[in-house]
Amino acid sequence: MHSLDAFRGFDIAAMLLVNLTWNEQVFHRQLFHVDWNASAQGATFTDLVFPWFLFIAGAAIPLSMDSGRGQSQTGSEKIRTAFRRSVVLYFLGVLLTVAGSYFDRPAQWTDVFRWNVLQLIAWGYFTAVCVFLLPRRAQFGFVVVVLLGKWLLLAGLPYDVVSEPFSPRATGATSTQGPGTFHHFDSVKRFVAAEHRPGSLLDRILGWFGMWQQVLPCAALAVLGGLTTRRLRRQHDQPSETEFRRASARNAAHVAVLGLGLTLLGFLLQWNYDPAGGGLWGTWTVPFSKWLFSPAYVLLAAGTGMLLYSAFFVWIDLLRWSSGRVLRVFGLNAIALYLAAELSFKVLWTRWQMHGPDGSSQSWMSGTQAWLTAWLGQAPGLWMHVVLYLCLWWLFCWWLDRKDWHLKV
């Protein structure tokens, strides 16, 4: 599906974009994450980039399982293949998580237990593959049970966890937020992920398994992506190409309506959220939160993902107004681009030094930005910096595609 490649390319281009929008005076707030411990939480465009990756990973599962090598594999073979791929993705994620820190400290074996983007994608993908081997009703049931369970977990937290900085390992931490406030990652995340015990090997192990309360909502989002692909590609025994296209258009409309419904449901679950407790559902109101992967956040990501996916499907696969080539160049080598961009950012662009326009020593990333703003002015220079960065990686992916090198795990 060219539309899925284009959607994946759009998402990774968005990732490259938001990684360079550092100046809040120039760039719109939608290009920044919600603050780590902002009591109100919420979600911006930037906060949706990562869950769209999960949605897209899940959307590709039916394509790989129902065709090619996957078509001839048994259920256990599909699970083994997915497990191997997940292990590779997980350790690539560990590498990216700690790559920059190795300039400042030696590697530690406990780094293996650190979670980040690729680690969550790895095991969310593996869980989604296992779920897709179940009957269709079980797939829907999995999504409902996981989201309902996460809602009950967050809404039923002990009051002292959400009202005080519940972090025994913190040194001199004090709260500046009101009673009943979620202390995201500093308290709630440590509690729900079983990381609030004294630091020890047992703490590391419990914390690693505790993060599966994040993995399961990630898997639910991937399952929704896979179900979306199956709906868009639903086979119709139509007598003509015209009838087939009409049926495909109806499928896309159904996906768009469902996406709008899930988006609205996400807003409903966190409507009028008050950090001190309250909202439409009273104490059961839980906000959009990327850091906690709340049910409202998963529904928002899935709903907006369905809207974008159906739009790309109509634009590229159905009406064929465009091949989506510019975006597909990114999407066909997404994992290679992600690894190259993240590793070079951590070990090259922010480490190697150059002379800035004032003669000071700056990293390549900051120095290039400083030269462009000195020549063009602040806003044009910052935007030019972003555009040049995007073009650099597009040319890298175009070169890979021209060589017919499509790197996969």
Closest-CA residue to 194 (of 205, 183, 179, 180): 205
When mean pLDDT is compared across 109-123, 242-256, 266-280, 389-403, the lowest value belongs to 266-280
> What does the mean pLDDT of the chain come to?
84
Predicted structure pTM score:
0.88
Per-residue pLDDT averaged across 232-241, rounded?
A: 72
Per-residue pLDDT averaged across 164-193, rounded?
A: 48
Rounded alpha-carbon distances, angstroms, from residue 114 to 93, 185, 211, 298, 313: 9, 14, 10, 22, 36
Instruction: Indicate the domain borders of the chain.
Output: 1-32+324-409, 39-320
Per-residue pLDDT tens over the stretch 43-55: 899 999 999 999 9
DSSP letters, 141-187, are HHHHHHHHHHHHHHHT--HHHHHTT--TT-SS----S-TT---TTTT
Per-residue pLDDT tens over the stretch 302-343: 999 999 999 999 999 888 888 888 999 999 999 999 999 999
Residues in the chain: 409
Per-residue pLDDT averaged across 242-252, rounded?
A: 84
Per-residue pLDDT tens over the stretch 373-396: 999 999 999 999 999 999 999 999
Residue spans of alpha helices (H) in 332-377: 334-344, 364-376
Amino acid identity for residue 154 in this structure: L
Name 148's Cβ contacts closer than 8 Å, sequence gap at least 6: 295
CA angle 217/128/156 to nearest 5° reads 20
When mean pLDDT is compared across 82-91, 232-241, 247-256, 396-405, the lowest value belongs to 232-241
Instruction: Report pLDDT for 66.
Output: 78
Instruction: Report pLDDT for 402.
Output: 92
Per-residue pLDDT averaged across 49-77, rounded?
A: 85
Q: How far apart are CA 30 and CA 63, in angstroms?
A: 32
Containing 254, the helix (H) or strand (E) segment is: helix 241-269
Look at the block and give the residue holding tokens 């974008």. Answer: 308
